[in-house]
């Protein structure tokens, strides 16, 4: 048996043949995996690894292919890529050149929406504390929208019906398609530079996420955030949400609702003014009554503190005291008169003169006028004086009787 000499490949020869085999066999393949080690080079190319639970595959997406991506590739994101499998000869590693990429389970636009929403929210662009109130009665309103769409017709109709004298300045823009976002930014910036507008409305009618995508662009969000004039976002229908809605000061579910928000009904305002006037009148009446009561209380207090009132009070108290004193003195005098009459009667009953009036007499010895109470106190022949009730007698003692 003839022995065949085996072919010996050099590394580069084997690599080249394997590359040709892979490129001829695996052209235009779809590969599913999770991104890891993602790097977006300054050249614009994207380098990453696709992996699953049992293997991994290097991948590169050149700048020309990734320029149209709507979302940001990142580590951990499950994707489906389309491309060609080849070998990178200098290192002998096989890899896939990715021509297009889609997130698995979620549309590219929806993923881009969620990624931008998360990033801008972290920066504080959605912070409720920075949102400004809409003026109650704006004099000038700016509208950034398509001049031919239903949105502007609805807005103008409602504003004209409610307050026909409000000025509306329209900045016409495309609201979908390439270049729409740049025109919306230009409109917001231009109307801000005027400096005479009270509020801006950024609006368009409903549509798919692709139709509304201009209002999900980061440049539009930052233009609304930088606006010095309060902004109402009115994009799509009630169930549609865009990044512009989250950044704006107020989100209106529809363009018509935005017009209703920015211009209150005249009848409602008139009724509100009437209600406020009634409340003001009622409050003023209440305050007047309270003030009157307070004034009367102060007058009473001042009267109590007035020197004239004090003198008057003292005079009245002095008069009352004098009357009480006079009454007391009269009473006491009457008592004293009674007591005096009683004492006089008693004294009168005990008076010697009263005794003499009953027939008794007083005998006194002469000349010392001492009262005689015993016969032995005087000798016969001595003179005595006998006092009677009326008058008296000078007598000489002729005889003593014991």
Residue 301 is predicted with a pLDDT of 76
pLDDT tens profile 1-58? 566 777 777 777 777 777 788 777 788 888 888 888 999 999 999 999 998 888 888 9
Cβ-contact 276, 270 below 8 angstroms: no
Provide the number of structural domains found in the chain: 4
Q: The CATH number of the domain where 151 resides is what?
A: 3.40.50.960
pLDDT given at position 171:
95
Residues 93 and 151 in one domain: no
pLDDT of residue 219: 93
Same domain, 198 and 162: yes
Range of the domain at 226: 124-129+138-263
280 and 259 together in one domain: no
Query: Are both 142 and 232 inside the same structural domain?
Result: yes
Task: Using alpha carbons, list the distances in angstroms from residue 231 to 197, 252, 288, 300.
Answer: 11, 10, 44, 60
pLDDT at 69: 84
Q: Closest Cα partner for 205 from 264, 126, 148? A: 148
Point out the domain boundary residue: 263, 285, 310. 263
Q: What is the pLDDT of residue 10?
A: 73
Domain annotation covers residue 206: yes
Clarify whether residues 199 and 291 are in a common domain: no
- In a shared domain, residues 291 and 244: no
Confirm whether 321 is domain-assigned.
Answer: no
The reply to whether 287 and 257 lie within a common domain is no
**Residue 307 falls inside a structural domain:** no
Flag whether 311 is in a domain.
no
Instruction: Write the burial class of residue 356 (CB in 10 Å: 0-12 exposed, 13-18 middle, 19+ buried).
Output: middle
The verdict on 152 and 251 lying in the same domain is yes
Asked if 247 and 292 sit in the same domain, the reply is no
Question: What was the pLDDT predicted at 106?
Answer: 62
Last residue of one domain, picked from the residues 263, 290, 312: 263
Predicted confidence at residue 324, as pLDDT, reads: 84
Place of tokens 């000061």: 249
Q: For residues 176 and 213, is the Cβ–Cβ distance under 8 A?
A: yes
What per-residue confidence (pLDDT) applies to 146?
A: 92
What backbone phi and psi angles, to 5 degrees, belong to 239?
-85, -5
pLDDT of residue 78: 83
Q: Is residue 44 part of a domain?
A: yes
- For residue 194, the SS3 value is helix
The residues near 241 (Cβ < 8 Å, ≥ 6 apart) are 251
Res 105: pLDDT:
67
- Same domain for 295 and 379? no
CATH number for the domain spanning 65: value is: 2.40.50.140
Q: What is the pLDDT of residue 115?
A: 84
pLDDT at 163: 81
Q: CB–CB of 113/229 below 8 Å? A: no
Looking at the fold, whether 142 and 255 belong to one and the same domain comes out as: yes
Q: In degrees, to the nearest 5, what angle opens at C-alpha 255 toward C-alphas 206 and 215?
A: 55
Whether the model clears a pTM of 0.85, i.e. scores above it, the answer is: no
Q: Are residues 278 and 374 in the same domain?
A: no
Question: Contact 201/256 with Cβ under 8 angstroms?
Answer: no
Q: Tell me how far apart the alpha carbons of residues 240 and 262 are, in angstroms, rounded to a whole number.
A: 20
Residues of the chain predicted below pLDDT 50 = none
Structural domain includes residue 218: yes
Task: Judge whether 207 lies within some domain.
Answer: yes
Residue 154 located in a structural domain: yes
Query: What is the DSSP secondary structure assignment for residue 214, as one 8-state letter?
Result: G
């Amino acid at each position: 048996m003839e022995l065949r000499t085996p072919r010996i490949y050099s590394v580069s020869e084997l690599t080249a043949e394997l590359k040709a085999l892979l490129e001829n066999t695996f052209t235009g393949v779809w590969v599913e995996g999770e991104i890891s080690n993602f790097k977006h080079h300054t050249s614009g190319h994207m380098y990453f690894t696709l992996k699953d639970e049992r293997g991994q595959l290097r991948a590169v997406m050149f700048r020309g292919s990734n320029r149209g991506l709507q979302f940001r590739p990142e580590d951990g994101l499950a994707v489906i890529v389309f491309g060609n499998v080849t070998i990178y000869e200098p290192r002998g590693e096989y890899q896939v050149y990715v021509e297009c990429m889609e997130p698995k389970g979620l549309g590219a636009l929806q993923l881009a929406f969620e990624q931008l929403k998360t990033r801008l929210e972290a920066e504080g662009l959605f912070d409720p504390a920075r949102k400004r109130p809409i003026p109650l009665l704006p004099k000038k309103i700016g509208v950034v929208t398509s001049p031919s769409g239903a949105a502007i017709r609805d807005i103008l109709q409602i504003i004209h019906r409610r307050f026909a004298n409000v000025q509306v300045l329209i900045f016409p823009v495309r609201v979908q398609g390439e270049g729409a976002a740049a025109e919306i930014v230009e409109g917001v910036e231009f109307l801000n530079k005027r400096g005479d507008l009270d509020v801006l409305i950024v609006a368009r009618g409903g549509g798919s996420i692709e139709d509304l995508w201009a209002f999900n662009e980061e440049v539009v969000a930052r233009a609304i955030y930088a606006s010095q004039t309060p902004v109402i976002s009115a994009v799509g229908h009630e169930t549609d949400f865009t990044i512009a809605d989250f950044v704006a000061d107020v989100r209106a579910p529809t363009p018509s609702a935005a017009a209703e928000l920015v211009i209150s009904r005249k009848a409602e305002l008139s009724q509100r003014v009437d209600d406020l006037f009634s409340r003001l009148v009622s409050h003023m009446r209440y305050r007047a009554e309270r003030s009157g009561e307070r004034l009367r209380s102060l007058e009473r207090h001042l009267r109590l503190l007035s020197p004239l009132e004090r003198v008057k009070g003292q005079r009245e108290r002095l008069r009352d005291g004098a009357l009480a004193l006079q009454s007391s003195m009269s009473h006491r005098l009457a008592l004293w008169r009674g007591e005096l009459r009683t004492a006089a009667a008693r004294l009168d009953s005990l008076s010697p003169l009263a005794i003499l009036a009953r027939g008794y007499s007083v005998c006194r010895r002469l000349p010392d006028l001492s009262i005689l109470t015993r016969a032995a106190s005087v000798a016969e022949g001595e003179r005595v004086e006998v006092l009677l009730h009326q008058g008296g007698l000078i007598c000489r003692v002729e005889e003593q009787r014991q």
